[in-house]
Amino acid sequence: MTQRIPAAATDDPLLLEGLRRVIEDQIGPRRKGAIYQNSDGAFEVLALVRDPEQARTLLRRRCAQWAVIVRDVLRPDSQPVAVGSVWTTSDQLVRKADTRASAARKCASCGGEGGRMVDTSGGGVTRQTWQSCTPCGGSGQAG
């Protein structure tokens, strides 16, 4: 059974600010271009998805508020994957995201995201792959 949040609760600025802070804590320092490491490997952040509907689709979780698209930098053949794990004390930031470059000029084709998820699901099989933006080469920055 799905429980609806009353409309009045979504108009409360204090509640919305609290939710924003919780989400920021869960994401941690993972921004586009950052590299972090944990017991699962070392990962470069390709995109940060803050749209809850898109995050729910990517992660196949009804409660997802965000998702991070990452690539394992220790495996040369690794493919981008969406993750929704929260930032913990076992995660270590290896390289901070370059906020100056990403704030400068975003690619008009991808809106600074560096690409998009492509859904080729069919026949009861879910298939989603990350497609890098061709005009910016996946950097998200205008050339």
Selected residue with higher pLDDT from 126 and 10: 126
Of the two residues 133 and 54, the one the predictor is more confident about is: 54
Distance CA 67, CA 117 (A): 12
Q: Are strands 35-38 and 92-95 parallel, antiparallel or unpaired?
A: antiparallel
Contact between 69 and 98 (Cβ < 8 Å): no
Span 83-100, average pLDDT: 88
Backbone CA torsion sign across 88, 101, 55, 127: negative
Comparing 2 with 43, the larger pLDDT belongs to: 43
Average pLDDT estimate for 127-132: 73
Task: Please report which confidence band the pLDDT of residue 15 belongs to, taking 50, 70 and 90 as the band edges.
Answer: confident
Percent with pLDDT over 90 in the chain: 47
Average pLDDT over residues 76-104: 84
Sequence ranges of the domains in the chain: 1-97, 98-143
Q: Which of 34-38, 82-86, 118-122 comes out lowest in average pLDDT? A: 118-122
pLDDT digits (tens, 9 = 90+) for 105-115: 788 888 777 77
Q: Give the least confident one: 34-43, 86-95, 99-108.
A: 99-108
- Least confident segment among 2-11, 41-50, 108-117: 2-11
pLDDT for res 5:
58
Sorted by sequence, the CB contacts under 8 Å of residue 50 that are 6+ apart come out as 23, 65, 66
